[in-house]
């Protein structure tokens, strides 16, 4: 240990032991006991042994205690590495996943972590590993889940209009019939031979069931 550091004098050995007895943090209690030994005049080596540390670490805690008092003897969590993306960039990433790849990458039907990592590099010049991208997506509330089939030419507006006006269309077709005439509504299907592409897992919000285009072209038999 280099030159000794004097311990602040407004806390005596008994004061430090009393604080250690009331401390809820085990590490803080050990450090208070070590500093109490220092205040009693014990050697730095003996005091460090009481706190289960080496002499240089004891010296560092003396500096912290002198500057901040007993509260400074509580270990602080490491802030970790700074985030690679800003809050605004993370919000853009979330919106990309919510909207699907069609607006950003029309050649894709679903986002993969590698695709998003490439887009982050292209847009923000930030390199992120696929694992990092996956961790951020889970933080947004997304999960890697299966999708439901969707015909590439499906028209949601036309489908809703058909369901909304179905009653009126039936009434228009049957207005010339005599009252009480039985009416049957039939739905047609046929045997078909063709290829249907498989569906893959994609990133979407937990609890949702996203849809993916599925080739449903067939030759009718």
pLDDT tens by residue, 109-146? 788 999 999 999 999 999 999 999 999 999 999 988 87
Structure confidence by residue, pLDDT tens digits, 151-160:
767 788 888 8
List alpha helices for the chain, DSSP H.
Answer: 13-22, 26-39, 44-50, 55-68, 87-99, 113-124, 130-139, 156-174
Structure confidence by residue, pLDDT tens digits, 62-115:
999 999 999 999 988 877 788 889 999 999 999 999 888 888 888 887 889 999
CB of 143 closer than 8 Å to CB of 206: yes
Confidence category of residue 217, pLDDT binned at 50, 70, 90: low
Domain boundaries, the chain: 13-73, 87-150, 156-198+215-220
Structure confidence by residue, pLDDT tens digits, 1-58:
445 678 998 999 999 999 999 999 999 999 999 999 999 989 989 999 999 999 999 9
Whole-model pTM over 0.85: no
pLDDT of residue 1: 42
According to DSSP, the β-strands at 192-194 and 218-220 are antiparallel
**Any idea which residue has 């950003």 for tokens?**
104
Cα torsion angle, 211, 206, 135, 119, sign: positive
C-alpha span between 112 and 130 (Å, rounded): 9
Structure confidence by residue, pLDDT tens digits, 170-209:
888 888 898 889 988 887 766 666 666 677 788 888 888 7
C-alpha span between 60 and 66 (Å, rounded): 10
């Amino acid at each position: 240990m280099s030159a000794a550091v004097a311990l602040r004098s407004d806390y005596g050995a008994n004061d430090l032991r009393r604080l250690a007895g009331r401390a809820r943090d085990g590490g803080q209690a050990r450090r208070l006991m070590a500093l109490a030994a220092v205040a009693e005049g014990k050697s730095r080596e003996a005091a460090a042994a009481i706190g289960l540390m080496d002499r240089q670490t004891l010296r560092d805690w003396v500096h912290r205690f002198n500057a901040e008092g007993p509260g400074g003897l509580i270990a602080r969590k490491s802030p970790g590495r700074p985030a690679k993306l800003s809050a605004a960039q993370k919000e853009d990433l979330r919106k990309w996943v919510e909207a699907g790849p069609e607006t950003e990458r029309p050649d894709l039907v679903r986002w993969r972590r590698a695709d998003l990592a490439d887009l982050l590099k292209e847009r923000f010049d930030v390199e992120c590993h696929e694992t990092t991208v996956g961790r951020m997506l889970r933080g947004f509330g997304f999960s890697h889940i299966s999708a439901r089939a969707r015909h590439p030419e499906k028209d949601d507006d036309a489908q809703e209009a058909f369901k909304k006006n179905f009653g009126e269309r039936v009434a228009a077709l049957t207005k010339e019939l005599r009252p009480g005439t039985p009416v049957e509504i039939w739905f047609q299907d046929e045997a078909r031979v063709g290829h249907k592409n498989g569906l893959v897992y994609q990133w979407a919000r937990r609890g949702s069931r996203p849809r993916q285009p599925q080739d449903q072209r067939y030759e009718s038999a």
